[in-house]
């Protein structure tokens, strides 16, 4: 009498299922060990003003820039990292000093800074973010909003030790 757990049918079903997932690469082993660092985006550093002060919020607020900072390789959230943010907003051009500000990540490696509404400039509604401190390699990001009427934008950093 065939075993109820291992007969020809279960062997065929589990065997082909394992092939379908494993051999085709639909399931990959956890990638956290090899988390690749974020590359600087084209135009990310445009109108950068190094050393923007850490602020409660930029200008009058109403728009949220948020994201995470993790370490390349193991993906550990990085606490207390300084992220600089600037954009063309309802209160000023990218080059204006008052359009710039910085914030620090919390214990979960998350940051969140309120700023004025970003408006389209140079053809796209977009923001700029920089990680430019000593411990990790410098990264400049330039995320684009999917719609100019959005009131928030996210950007995520994976940093490589310097």
161 touching another protein, by CB under 8 A: no
- DSSP string for 10-38: HHHHHHHHHIIIIITTSS----GGGBPPP
47 touching another protein, by CB under 8 A: yes
**Cα 141 to Cα 42: distance, rounded to the nearest angstrom:** 8
**Cα 50 to Cα 82: distance, rounded to the nearest angstrom:** 12
Instruction: Tell me the β-bridge partners of 48.
Output: none
119 touching another protein, by CB under 8 A: yes
Q: Which of 67, 101, 125, 127 binds another protein (CB under 8 A)?
A: 125
61 touching another protein, by CB under 8 A: no
- 134 alpha carbon, distance to own chain's centre: 19
Q: CB-based contacts of 90: which residues, under 8 Å, 6+ apart?
A: 116, 117, 119
Q: State the nearest-atom distance from the C-beta of 138 to another protein, in Å.
A: 16
41 touching another protein, by CB under 8 A: yes
Q: State the nearest-atom distance from the C-beta of 102 to another protein, in Å.
A: 20
Q: Which of 10, 14, 90, 152 binds another protein (CB under 8 A)?
A: 90
Q: Which parts of this chain interact with another protein (CB under 8 A)?
A: 41-47, 88-91, 93-95, 119-125, 142, 148
């Amino acid at each position: 009498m065939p075993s109820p757990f291992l007969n020809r049918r279960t062997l065929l079903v589990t065997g082909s299922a394992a092939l379908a997932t494993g051999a085709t690469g639909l399931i990959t082993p956890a990638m956290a060990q090899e988390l690749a660092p974020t590359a600087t985006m084209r135009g990310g550093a445009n109108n950068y003003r190094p050393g923007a002060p850490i602020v409660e919020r930029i200008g009058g607020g109403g728009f949220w820039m948020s994201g995470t900072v993790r370490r390349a390789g193991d993906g550990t959230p990085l606490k207390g990292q300084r992220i600089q943010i600037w954009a063309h907003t309802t209160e000023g051009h990218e080059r204006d000093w008052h359009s710039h500000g910085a914030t620090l990540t919390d214990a979960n490696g998350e940051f969140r800074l309120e700023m004025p509404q970003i408006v389209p400039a140079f053809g796209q509604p977009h923001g700029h973010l920089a990680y430019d401190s000593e411990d990790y390699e410098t990264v400049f990001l330039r995320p684009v909003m999917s719609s100019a009427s959005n009131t928030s934008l996210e950007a995520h950093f994976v940093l490589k030790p310097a």
